[in-house]
Structure 1
Amino acid sequence: MKPLHLIPDDVNVPFLKFRKLFYIVSLVMVLASAALFFTKGLNFGIDFRGGILVEIKTDGPADISGLRDNLGSLGLGDVSIQEFGAPDDVLIQLQRQDGDEKAQMAALATVTDALGENVTIRRSELVGPKVGSELKEAGFYSVVISLLLIMVYIWFRFEWQFAVASVVALLHDVVITVGFFVITGVQFDLATLAAVLTVAGYSINDTVVVFDRIREYLRKFRKMEIPDLLDLSINSTLSRTTMTSFTTLLALIALFTFGGEAIRGFTLALIFGIVIGTYSSICVASPLLIVLRLKRKIPEAEEGQEVKA
């Protein structure tokens, strides 16, 4: 039985021929995402903007629509209600109320009274604006530090051109993924932020595979032009890249479909991030090596003869 290949082993797509088109498409997506972020902004969850969180257990499957109508009529502002793991487990989120902690406690008591005695309150939390602000700051620093450490790792493993190209591609992925959440309005919380960092790790893994093949071919094909060598490297790893992305997406789509609301934002971020990360590994990171003037730094060898390190 032959192994499954989404892409034939002898594929020869001239990716570098279309690199200017890739640059334009990526630049438009990045600029649009940044513009939307600074004008419209993200739909931050309670983790970042503060508010009231209540987890309840109902007697039998929860009537989400009825709960939404009931709590929505209390005049407490935005109310988010979703299943949390099981049909009888519900997570209720309310925006932060005007006033001090007493106002938040009063709102929590109002919600508790409205729910009645047929539900069990498993937990209730108040997230203040200071905590939300600190989490935003911590989230920003976590992304920046992750990108810097990745750049240092690539710099030590390869040359500086590879490090710069990989970080540019990662910034490309992160900014566009954030732009996707601005456009869709899906809630952005700590779980979603974790997904964005996971996407960065997945993307750099794909990129390193291609970079390893480029370094190998730089030593093996001494006389080959750099654009042709980059095309050969991308095509030789294309089957592996697409198969990895395909199988990962199958698992994520199953989680998105059957995992419930509690992890929907997380899996949606991963699904979009995997797609954009695969695109950047193929169409952004490697072509950028041309712009950064990648050169060989190895002894001369005949074409087709491998040079020992």
Structure 2
Amino acid sequence: MNLQIIEKRNIFFIISSIVILIGIVMMMISGLNFGIDFTGGTHIQIDLGETIPVKEIREITDEFDKNADVIHAGDERNQVIIKTAKSLNSDERIEVFNQFKEKYNLEADEPMMSEQFGPSIGKEIRNKALLAIVIATIGMLIYITFRFEFKFGISAILALIHDILIALAVYAIFKLPVNSSFVAAMLTIVGYSINDTIVVFDRIRENQKLFKKTEYNKLIDTSVSQTIVRSINTSFTTLLAIACLYIFGVEAIKDFALPLIVGVVVGTYSSIFIASPVWYLLKVKAK
């Protein structure tokens, strides 16, 4: 297999640019679909004594908020957690509970947990997530510069920024909910993507020692061709496991698995088609 990555690099850059541009336009027009972790809202947890299908629970919750999140909890999934972006006061929360109490003959006089919270928690999550990404990015840049060279580090960081922008664009285009699970998944993807990129860079460095007079474009094409099967197989097995979590998992697991699926696909794409061409452009410009 002899791929022509460098020759067709502009095609990959254009594809990514179009997706990111569409995402930016969508964010400017309608914004991201922030979950209650960022907007604030109401949290109610009720012990139903048995596992009730989400569809049946929504027959009650839809009267208050059709976009409410319904999650099962407890060892036997006999508890239900209702999260709604609407701020329900104490009387409204009691009314919600009374409807469940009447329908399922509950013995308790009040829910296990009932609280109203503001967007300050989401702001704290966002700030800490940004801080974590910045610290991780600086650490990765230092490591890759020490292990390889500075241009490899810059290329890897630009690929990571590409991954995050693409993921945000996908969530903006399809109006998927952005919540704390999304933030956790993005932090996970940053580590996964950089690992895949380093594998490609390591092969480039090895081939650079073997073929010292080889042009950069041929060097990169050869190196990527040698590692692409490994990258695809690794990503496929990872996706297989995450897809099972998404298909068979509960709602809370699905919220975490979905951004992981998006991130793994985008991370694999950037490691092969974005990071190496960026390094090529930096080397050519320096030369």
- Is the CA contact (8 Å cut-off) linking 2:71 and 2:252 kept in structure 1? yes
Partner Cα separation in structure 2 for residue 234 and residue 21 of structure 1 = 17
- Is the CA contact (8 Å cut-off) linking 1:252 and 1:271 kept in structure 2? yes
Partner of 2:148: 158
Question: Aligned to 1:23, which of 13, 20, 27?
Answer: 13
Partner of 2:38: 48
Cα separation, partners in 2 of 1:77 and 1:130, compared to 1, 3 Å: farther
Partner of 1:4: none
The one-letter code matched in structure 1 to 2:242 is: L
Q: Deviation digits for residues 121-158 of structure 1, max 9, x if unmatched?
A: 44334322222222222223333332232222222222
| Distance apart, 1:95 and its partner CA | 1.8
2:65 pairs with 1:80 = no
2:91 pairs with 1:106 = yes
Partner Cα separation in structure 2 for residue 152 and residue 36 of structure 1 = 35
Q: Deviation digits for residues 105-127 of structure 1, max 9, x if unmatched?
A: 33322322222163564433432
Partner Cα separation in structure 2 for residue 274 and residue 78 of structure 1 = 28
Partner of 1:301: none
CA RMSD of aligned residues (A): 2.4
2:221 pairs with 1:231 = yes
| Distance apart, 1:87 and its partner CA | 5.2
Partner of 1:136: 126
Partner of 1:6: none
- Is the CA contact (8 Å cut-off) linking 1:54 and 1:123 kept in structure 2? yes
2:198 pairs with 1:212 = no
Q: TM-score, normalised by structure 2?
A: 0.89
Partner Cα separation in structure 1 for residue 171 and residue 142 of structure 2 = 29
Partner of 1:240: 230
Partner Cα separation in structure 2 for residue 45 and residue 295 of structure 1 = 44
Query: Which of the two has higher C-alpha Rg?
Result: 1
Partner of 1:174: 164
Partner of 1:147: 137
Segments of 5+ residues of structure 2 without an aligned counterpart are: none
- Is the CA contact (8 Å cut-off) linking 2:70 and 2:251 kept in structure 1? no
2:251 pairs with 1:267 = no
| Distance apart, 1:192 and its partner CA | 1.4
Partner of 1:8: none
The one-letter code matched in structure 2 to 1:39 is: I
How many percent identity over aligned positions? 37
- Is the CA contact (8 Å cut-off) linking 1:49 and 1:132 kept in structure 2? yes
| Distance apart, 1:294 and its partner CA | 5.6
Count of residue correspondences: 281
Cα separation, partners in 2 of 1:242 and 1:63, compared to 1, 3 Å: closer
- Is the CA contact (8 Å cut-off) linking 1:96 and 1:104 kept in structure 2? no
Out of 108-117 and 49-58, give the one that drifted further: 108-117
Partner Cα separation in structure 2 for residue 268 and residue 140 of structure 1 = 20
